[in-house]
Every structure is written in C-alpha cells, then in structure tokens.
Amino acid sequence: MSAKSKLAIFSVFTTLAICVPLLFIHAISRDLFEIFSVALIICILAVILYYLFRLRGALGRKIGDTIALVRADESRHDYKINLRISALESKLDLLIRIAEGLDFGANPLVPPSSITFSTRMNGSEVQRVLFVTSNGAGMGHLTRCLAIAMKGKPRFQSAFLSLAKQSDVVKKAGFDVLTPMGKDELGVDWQEWHHYFSKIVDSALRHNSVDTVVFDGTWVYRGITQACRRHGVELIWLRRGLWKGGRDCSQLASPMSHVDKIIEPADVGHDIDNLGPMLNVYERNVPMMVSPITIGDSSVLASRNELLRELDLDPAFSYVLIQLGAGTINDIKDIRQRAIETVTGLGKQWRAVVAFSPLSSPSLQHPPGAVSIRVYPLARFLKVFEFGVFAAGYNSIHEALVHRLPCVLVPNYQTSTDDQVRRAQGMNQKGLGLMAADVTELERAIHALSDLETRDLIKMRLSELKIGDGAAEAIDIIAMSR
C-alpha cells in the first residue's frame, strides 16, 4: 500500500474518531459539547506542536552532523565557506534551543562583555579601540598592543580582550580587559571553542560601541572577522613579520579576506637575503610598515643609581642581564645556568641578573649564582646593564636596539612561526650584536662583550641607527580608521 493510501485511511479513521463522539455529546448537552470541543482542539494543537518540535530538533541535529562532516573535510582557511557554515550554525543553535524548550537567552559559556573604556578628561566622545591578542608563547602580542594603547591615550580610548595568561599586566597599566577561557580550560574541541569565542567577540562589539579592533596574533580567528563585519567595525591586523618557512601562510597570502588593514612593525632581520614565506607576501600584499614597536621610552630620566635602587642592586658592580624567554616553548634552564656561570667567571665585579617573564613559572625563581628580578615592562631598566644575553624574540631584540644595549643573541629553534635565527643573523651581520647558536658560542660571545672596547664599538653602531617610533606611527594609522 502506498504512503498516500495509508495517509488517506488514517485521515478517515481520525475524522470518524473525533466526529462521532462530538455528535453524541452534542445530542446530550450543548454546553458539554462546547467544553469538550475546546479541550479537544487544545490537545490536538499540543500534539502537533510536540511532534513539530521533535521534528525540528531531529532535523537540527541532522544538519549539525552534516556541518561537522563538512568542517572535517573543508580547508580551515576557506573564509567564505566558514562564514556560511558559521551563520548556519548560529541559526541551528537557536532552532535546537527552541525545540528543546531552552531559554532564548541561555548562554552559560559567555562571560559578561561590558568593558570600561578609558575616558578623556574633557568628556568628549573619542574613538574606541578594542585590542585583541592571542595567547602566544611570550609577551610579544600583549606588549605591542600595550605600547600603542599607552601612547595613544590622547587620541583614543582603549580596552583589551586577551587570551594571554598574564593579562593582569593590562589592568596594572590602567586598561580594562576581558579574558575568555582557552580551549583546554573549557575542555572542548576547537570547533566548540571557536563558536564560544565568536560569541564573546560579537557581544563585546555589540555592547561597547567599538569603532576599531586591533588584533595581534599569528592567526586571525574566524569569529573576529565575522563579528567586525557584522557590526561594521574596521579590523586591523598588527602582524609581526619574519615568519619561518614551511608554516601555514594562507592568511598571509590573502589577508584582505580576513582584515581591512595590516600594520607590520619593522624587524632587524627583514633585509637579509632570505625572507622566507614573507617574500611572496610582500610582492602581493604590501602591509603598512611602521618602525619597531617597543614599550617604554629610551629617554628615561632616572639615573643609573636610581634605577639600580629600584631593583635593589648595588651600584658598585657591573651587571649582565640574562633573559632567555618565558620557558613555555622549551627548557631553557641549562643554557641559562651556563650563561650565569660564564658571567660570574668574568671576575669579582661582574654579577648576573636573570629577568623572569610574567609568564614564567614561580618555581623558576632564584637560579644559583644570580640575582633574579621580575619586572614588567623591563625596557626602562636596560640602561643599568653592561650588556645582555637574550633570546632572539621580537621584543627583547628591538628594545635592546632602541636602548642601545649590546647583547648576545640566543635564537630559539622551537618557536612555531617566529624565525629567531634570521633575526639573530640580521643583528650579527650588521655588527649590532653577537649571535650564539650553541653553548660554546655563548661562552665566547659573553667573554667578547666583557671587553669595554668591543661594547663601545657595538654601542657606536647602535647610536648610528635611526629608529623611529613605531607605536606613534601605528597610532596615526589606527586613528585614520575612524
């Protein structure tokens, strides 16, 4: 028997089952007939709604399973496909909540999204800039944004949305910050986390009248792009250069599918022969280049003795600053200890000072043979040191350039995208520092910089550099976006 025949027979029997009792009741009592009719209509509607919701819920889950399969197969970098699927997911989420009888406003994962923006004294309405940073291995993303926000106070109001583990430094600098949870904290997969993060960004833009979003990270999250385009907010990618070869550079090749502008701070390793994956990027998409972006001011008014007192250091000694990264990528204890031993072996007047990142574990404090400090930002204290032993990260190297501090450069080979080897080579080739690729070269370089004439020669080259104010230049670009 066909489905149409079954439906016709079912309809006939259902009609008889309803009409016969109604005729019988009508013959007995008209009032009873009206009451029974209303009750029956309500029951029929309830049954219809129940099955409709069940059908929608089942359909929604089926669509959800299909989306999951598509996501598993698709390229994560196809922006248009991702945008359409995310829009479908958003509607599907509402559909499933209706079908399951959940509250429309139920959203337990998303935290409050109101931010207190800094205000100008005259109370006039100025541009609102939301700085968004990813959770990098170091403090680079957060520090670049803080440098711009602090210097940009006369031009715009700033607030932060950061995934960095030590975003409390933002509050200490006087800016409000939202701190969404990471994937591991939530205990979800990447798809769920992206959905969660997208809602947070969207809510932050909707509730805070943001004019411009500045994102600093190696990968522009889909939710940031979608939220900015949905609310008509300009999205600027503050993107460090000097990427390693062999990494996923699809966003570098087509950045305007994800952002409206790109600001790239200059890097000392840029002009050496091999540009790696950035070569094609510069040929096709020229970013808005600015000078190196560093936090702090090289013209610190405090004297060496005053700064040493702040660090609780005796001015009678010569100090070498050792800062080899946060230790979140690789184990740096052995090379740090070798650097300490080499410095202390230079003579009685030499002292090793180990600077710990806010990201480093408290258990890493007090290495034997050295004084330990934990200050942020560290740049204002660089003038008290004879030279430094630094990981070749963007911040450390360019702060040393700005403050004219000779240094030994120890590249980290285990970074994800940052090509510290080429940065260290760039410094070494220009005579602005000494690269140490292994422990033997480290010891040799420390001994070389203990010589005053060698340090003076490097300082002279550093003083000849014309280094602009990248933060101020970036502020001009951001202010133009309004």
Q: Which amino acid is at 131?
A: F
Q: How far apart are CA 182 and CA 189, in angstroms?
A: 10
pLDDT above 80: residue 2: no
Look at 345 and 257; give whichever has higher pLDDT: 345
DSSP letter assigned to residue 214: E
Give the lowest-confidence range in 93-97, 310-314, 316-320: 93-97
C-alpha of 408 from chain center: 29
Instruction: Domains for the chain: give ranges and CATH numbers.
Output: 3-99 (no CATH), 127-292+471-480 (3.40.50.2000), 304-464 (3.40.50.2000)
Q: Cα dist. 127→119, 122, 197, 210, 473 in Å? A: 10, 14, 24, 8, 17
Average pLDDT over residues 337-359: 89
User: For position 440, what pLDDT does the model report?
Assistant: 93
Strands 387-391, 318-323: pairing kind:
parallel
User: For position 326, what pLDDT does the model report?
Assistant: 54
Question: Which of 125, 114, 118 is CA-nearest to residue 151?
Answer: 118
Look at 317 and 50; give whichever has higher pLDDT: 317
Helices (H), 256-325: 278-284, 304-310
pLDDT above 70: residue 445: yes
Question: Which of 69, 420, 75 is CA-nearest to residue 250?
Answer: 75
pLDDT band at residue 6 using 50, 70 and 90 as cut-offs:
low
Question: Which of 457, 443, 437, 428 is CA-nearest to residue 343?
Answer: 443
- The upper half-sphere exposure of residue 358, i.e. CA atoms within 13 Å in the direction of its Cβ, equals 17
What is the chain's Cα-based Rg? 31
3-state class (DSSP) for residue 474: helix
DSSP per-residue codes, 59-92: HHHHHHHHHHHHHHHS-TT-HHHHHHHHHHHHHH
H/E segment holding residue 447: helix 439-449
The per-residue pLDDT for range 301-311, each reduced to its tens digit, is 688 899 999 99
User: For position 476, what pLDDT does the model report?
Assistant: 94
Residue recorded with tokens 């040493």: 308
The per-residue pLDDT for range 27-86, each reduced to its tens digit, is 666 666 666 666 667 667 666 665 555 555 555 555 555 545 554 444 444 545 555 655
